[in-house]
């Protein structure tokens, strides 16, 4: 007899709980915006914040609720995601400006000089606080790979003391540029080609002693630029990409070779080229 | 009366800390203590659920199970009721307090059947506490959990930044650190009983 009471009691308790939950979830459920879920599925989910929202969820919510928000803000997703999002929302797809991370320091262990031995915590942020790391140039790449750890796709590796971006893998999210304590990483759009590979803001002679790749502030680039796109400001050449015609004159006249002509084609551009070939 | 309550509170926070002395609720302790803000969120959610669970299980034990002489059903009925209740709270929170739901919501389903929550309710019955004492004890246990989480989140952030031999990286070093923190808590044993005497 007691077992019957026990069975009835537990069954009743379970049943009561179940009924309560069903009733409550029926009356109190929050209507879910299905568009939001669909958009969220299209987005890559790396939560990088390149779109300017708090993550993929935030961007999906904003897109679903506000028709004025652009569909081409997702840089890691590139054109493919922009098209999918646009088709979910029923609007015309806009082209995404693909980006690639570029590290403004080419002063690897062969080129730079060392001022001390650093034996502390192996992160750039920690080394930066102790006399700016091992290298005598405190503006350059520290080389403990904070950016490599931040990269969601493993596109950054440390070689010979400085970080390198593997452009075939880079999705252009910009998470690396946020963690670099020397602010060496900027995001380059695919249309740009000229880049400065030094960040040293000291006087030319001082910089030269510290690193053979350092900008010596000779202003040859500024004087030879046919469109006056380069100005040496704060002891560093600044390129105005609106004026730059990609002629490459600055790269050829630079005596230390700290301006280069490069290609900023990231993963998305390369994938597109492969599919068209 | 008041003194008893204080003693119960201090005992459950420090001496009988559920995580570090009784080793209950280790899963969230190791899982969610990586970052301080997450640890605090989890701790607050646990306090809330513990209080709620005691609020509901106390009458069930005394007016249902004891009456029909069904004490052996304690575990299964408590789990059932606590799980349903937390689900209910989650639905209501989602509807009326979406902000709180976003910050707490991830942790609520995690603690529905957490052994620390069940342990608190069963221990309250076993210790023969009355209703108010049970509530104070649950509050203390929740606070103790929060304390342990916050302390350990601090310890872990230090571990992340230190050189550890490869074989000890990750969980092994975390477990060792947890053991040392729990050793520290054994220093509280026997203190509370003599606080007010």
CA-atom Rg of chain A in angstroms: 27
The predicted structure's pLDDT at residue A138: 87
User: DSSP per residue over A212-249, as a string?
Assistant: TTS-----HHHHH-TT--EEEETTEEEE-TTT-----H
pLDDT at B1 over 90: no
A5 to chain B: closest CA residue: B68
Q: Please say whether the beta carbons of A215 and A204 come within 8 A.
A: yes
Q: Where is pLDDT greater, at A164 or A45?
A: A164
Q: Please say whether the beta carbons of A103 and A177 come within 8 A.
A: no
Sign of the CA dihedral running A212, A217, A220, A221? positive
Characterize the bridge pairing of strands A230-233 and A194-196.
unpaired
Residue ranges making up the domain that contains B173: 11-194
Q: Hey, are the CB atoms on B162 and A6 less than 8 Å from each other?
A: no
For A:68-107, CB contacts with B below 8 A are none
Q: Which residues, in sequence order, are CB contacts of B176 under 8 Å at separation 6+?
A: B168
Q: Is A5 on the interface with B (CB under 8 A)?
A: yes
Q: Please say whether the beta carbons of A192 and A141 come within 8 A.
A: no
A195: helix, strand or coil: strand
| Euclidean distance between CA atoms B197 and B182, whole angstroms | 27
Determine the distance from the C-alpha atom of residue B80 to the mean position of all C-alpha atoms in its chain, rounded to a whole number: 18
- Exposure of A32 in the CB half-sphere (CA atoms within 13 A): 9
In a domain, B6, yes or no: no
Q: Is A15 on the interface with B (CB under 8 A)?
A: no
Task: Classify residue A30 as exposed, middle or buried by CB count within 10 Å of its CB (0-12, 13-18, 19+).
Answer: exposed
| Euclidean distance between CA atoms B85 and B138, whole angstroms | 16
B161: helix, strand or coil: coil
| Euclidean distance between CA atoms B50 and B143, whole angstroms | 10
Closest among A186, A177, A187, A170 to A270, alpha carbons compared: A170
The pLDDT tens digits for B99-113 are 777 766 667 777 776
List of long-range contacts for B120-129, beta carbons under 8 Å, 24+ apart: B120/B18, B120/B50, B120/B53, B120/B54, B121/B53, B121/B54, B121/B57, B121/B58, B121/B78, B121/B82, B122/B74, B122/B75, B122/B78, B124/B54, B124/B57, B124/B58, B125/B57, B125/B58, B125/B61, B125/B74, B129/B8
Q: How far is A14 from chain B (nearest CA, A)?
A: 7
- Exposure of B44 in the CB half-sphere (CA atoms within 13 A): 11
For A:203-232, CB contacts with B below 8 A are none
Q: How far is A67 from chain B (nearest CA, A)?
A: 23
Q: Is A12 on the interface with B (CB under 8 A)?
A: no
In a domain, B56, yes or no: yes
Q: Hey, are the CB atoms on A25 and B70 less than 8 Å from each other?
A: no
The predicted structure's pLDDT at residue A277: 46
Encoded tokens for A81: 């995601």
Cβ-nearest to A10 among B73, B95, B162: B73
Contacts of A9 in chain B (CB under 8 A): 64, 68, 70, 73, 77
pLDDT at A274 over 70: no
The pLDDT tens digits for A29-42 are 777 677 788 888 88
Q: How far is B161 from chain A (nearest CA, A)?
A: 6
**Number of residues written out for chain B:** 197
Q: Is A120 on the interface with B (CB under 8 A)?
A: no
The predicted structure's pLDDT at residue A178: 87
The pLDDT tens digits for A189-234 are 877 778 889 998 888 888 888 888 899 988 888 898 888 888 888 8
Cβ-nearest to A121 among B77, B98, B161: B161
Structural domains of chain A, ranges and CATH numbers in brackets: 34-89 (1.10.15.40), 99-276 (3.30.70.20)
| Euclidean distance between CA atoms B138 and B169, whole angstroms | 35
Instruction: Give the residue-averaged pLDDT of A83-101.
Output: 81
Number of domains in chain B: 1
Residue A237 backbone phi and psi in degrees, to 5 = -70, 130
Q: Which residues, in sequence order, are CB contacts of A277 under 8 Å at separation 6+?
A: none
Pick from A7-11, A20-24, B73-77, B90-94: least confident? B90-94
Paired strand residues for A189: A99
The pLDDT tens digits for A108-131 are 888 888 888 888 888 888 888 888
Q: How far is B4 from chain A (nearest CA, A)?
A: 34
Q: Hey, are the CB atoms on A13 and B81 less than 8 Å from each other?
A: yes
In a domain, B52, yes or no: yes
3-state helix, strand, coil split of chain A in percent (to 5) is 35, 15, 50
The predicted structure's pLDDT at residue B197: 59
In a domain, B165, yes or no: yes
Task: Classify residue A63 as exposed, middle or buried by CB count within 10 Å of its CB (0-12, 13-18, 19+).
Answer: buried
The predicted structure's pLDDT at residue B104: 67
Q: Is A255 on the interface with B (CB under 8 A)?
A: no
Cβ-nearest to B68 among A9, A14, A121: A9
B71 to chain A: closest CA residue: A6
List of long-range contacts for B52-56, beta carbons under 8 Å, 24+ apart: B52/B85, B52/B86, B52/B89, B53/B78, B53/B81, B53/B82, B53/B85, B53/B117, B53/B118, B53/B120, B53/B121, B53/B138, B54/B120, B54/B121, B54/B124, B54/B134, B54/B135, B54/B137, B54/B138, B55/B135, B56/B81, B56/B82, B56/B85
Q: Which residues, in sequence order, are CB contacts of B151 under 8 Å at separation 6+?
A: B181
The predicted structure's pLDDT at residue B71: 83
The predicted structure's pLDDT at residue A275: 53
Q: How far is A215 from chain B (nearest CA, A)?
A: 34
Q: How far is B14 from chain A (nearest CA, A)?
A: 34
Top residue of A14, A31, A127 to mutate, by most chain B CBs within 10 Å, is A14
The predicted structure's pLDDT at residue A270: 67
Instruction: Give the residue-averaged pLDDT of A150-158.
Output: 88
């Amino acid at each position: 007899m007691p077992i019957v009471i026990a069975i009835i009691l537990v069954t009743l308790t379970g049943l009561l709980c179940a009924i309560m939950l069903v009733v409550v979830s029926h009356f109190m459920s929050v209507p879910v915006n299905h568009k939001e879920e669909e958009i969220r599925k299209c987005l890559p989910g790396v939560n990088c914040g390149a779109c300017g929202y708090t993550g993929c969820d935030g961007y999906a919510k904003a897109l679903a609720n506000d028709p004025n928000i652009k569909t081409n803000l997702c840089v890691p997703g590139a054109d493919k995601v922009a098209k999918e999002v646009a088709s979910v929302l029923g609007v015309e797809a806009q082209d995404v400006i693909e980006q690639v991370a570029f590290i403004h320091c080419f002063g690897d262990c062969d080129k730079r000089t060392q001022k001390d031995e650093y034996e502390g915590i192996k992160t750039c942020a920690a080394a930066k606080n102790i006399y700016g790391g091992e290298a005598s140039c405190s503006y350059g790449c520290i080389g403990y790979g904070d950016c490599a750890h931040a990269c969601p796709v493993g596109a950054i590796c440390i070689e010979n003391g400085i970080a390198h971006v593997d452009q075939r893998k880079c999705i252009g999210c910009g998470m690396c540029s946020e963690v670099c304590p020397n602010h060496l990483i900027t995001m380059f759009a695919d249309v740009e080609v000229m880049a400065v590979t030094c960040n040293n803001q000291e006087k030319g002679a001082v910089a030269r002693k510290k690193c053979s790749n350092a900008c010596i502030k000779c202003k040859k680039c500024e004087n030879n630029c046919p469109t006056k796109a380069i100005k040496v400001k704060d002891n560093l050449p600044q390129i105005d990409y609106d004026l730059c015609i990609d002629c490459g004159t600055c790269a050829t006249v630079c005596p230390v070779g700290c301006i280069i002509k490069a290609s900023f084609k990231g993963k998305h551009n390369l994938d597109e080229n492969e599919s068209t070939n | 009366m008041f003194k008893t309550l204080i003693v119960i509170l201090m005992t459950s926070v420090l001496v009988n800390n559920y995580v570090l002395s009784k080793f209950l609720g280790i899963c969230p302790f190791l899982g969610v203590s990586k970052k301080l803000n997450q640890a605090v969120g989890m701790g607050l959610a646990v306090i809330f659920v513990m209080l709620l669970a005691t609020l509901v299980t106390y009458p069930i034990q005394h007016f249902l199970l004891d009456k029909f002489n069904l004490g052996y059903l304690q575990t299964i009925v408590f789990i059932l009721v606590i799980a349903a209740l937390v689900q209910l709270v989650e639905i209501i929170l989602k509807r009326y307090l979406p902000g709180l739901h976003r910050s707490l919501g991830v942790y609520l389903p995690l603690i529905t059947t957490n052994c620390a929550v069940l342990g608190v309710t069963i221990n309250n019955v076993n210790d023969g506490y009355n209703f108010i004492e049970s509530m104070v004890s649950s509050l203390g246990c929740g606070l103790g959990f929060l304390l342990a989480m916050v302390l350990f989140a601090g310890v872990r952030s230090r571990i992340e930044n230190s050189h550890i031999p490869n074989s000890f990286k990750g969980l092994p070093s975390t477990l060792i650190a947890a053991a040392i923190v729990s050793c520290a808590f054994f220093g509280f044993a026997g203190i509370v009983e003599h606080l007010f005497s």
